[in-house]
Amino acid sequence: MTKKQIKKDLDDVKDVEDVKDIEDKKLQISKLSKEIEELKNGWRRTQADFENYRHRTESQKAAMVELAKADFMTKLTPVLDNFRRAFSHTPDDDFAKGIKHIEKQLEDILNSEGLVRIKADTGTKFDPNLHEAISCEANNKIVADHIIAEVESGWMFGDKVLKPVKVRVSKGK
C-alpha cells in the first residue's frame, strides 16, 4: 500500500464519518423540528383555551350583573305598586302631584335600566305567561278569557317576567 492509497483511504473514511455526522445532524434537526411544532401547537391550544375561558368568564360576569339587577328590581316593584295604591286615596293637590313626579322619576330610572311595566289593558286576551288571574267573573261586556281589570302591576326585566300582572278575568256571559 502506498502513501497515496492510504491517504485516499483516510479521506474516504473521513467522508463516511462526515456523511454519518450529517445524517445524525439531519435526524436531530428533524426531531427538534417536530418538537418545536408540537410545542407551537400546544401553545396555540393553550392560547385558544385561555381566550375561551376569558369569554366564558366575561359572559358569566355579565349574567351575574343582570341577575343582581333583576333581584334589585324585584325588590323595588312593590314600592311602585304602593305609590299607585297611595295615589288612588289621595286628593289631587300640589303635594300629591310632587309625589307623583317622584314616582315617575323612579319609574323612568328603572325603565332606563331595563325594567318594563307589563300592560294589561281591559279587553285584552289573558296570557298566563304575563298575567296572574286572581278572579274569574261573569261579564256581559267582555268576552271570555279577556281581562276585566288590572289589580296589581306586573313587571319584566329584559325578556324575563319578574312579577306577572294580577288581573280579573272574564268568564263571558
Find out whether 146 and 124 touch, Cβ atoms under 8 Å.
yes
The full length of the chain comes to 173
Domain layout of the chain by residue ranges: 115-173
Secondary-structure class of domain 115-173 per CATH: mainly beta
pTM over 0.85: no
pLDDT tens, position by position, 103-160:
899 999 999 999 999 989 888 899 999 999 999 999 888 889 999 999 999 999 988 9
Enumerate the H helices of 88-150 as residue ranges.
94-112
Find out whether 151 and 167 touch, Cβ atoms under 8 Å.
yes
pLDDT tens, position by position, 7-36:
666 566 556 566 677 788 888 988 999 999
For 50, 69, 112, 133, 161, the CA distances from 59, given in Å and listed in that order, are: 14, 15, 21, 36, 21
Give the per-residue pLDDT at 172: 76
- Which of the pair, 2 or 125, is modelled with greater confidence? 125
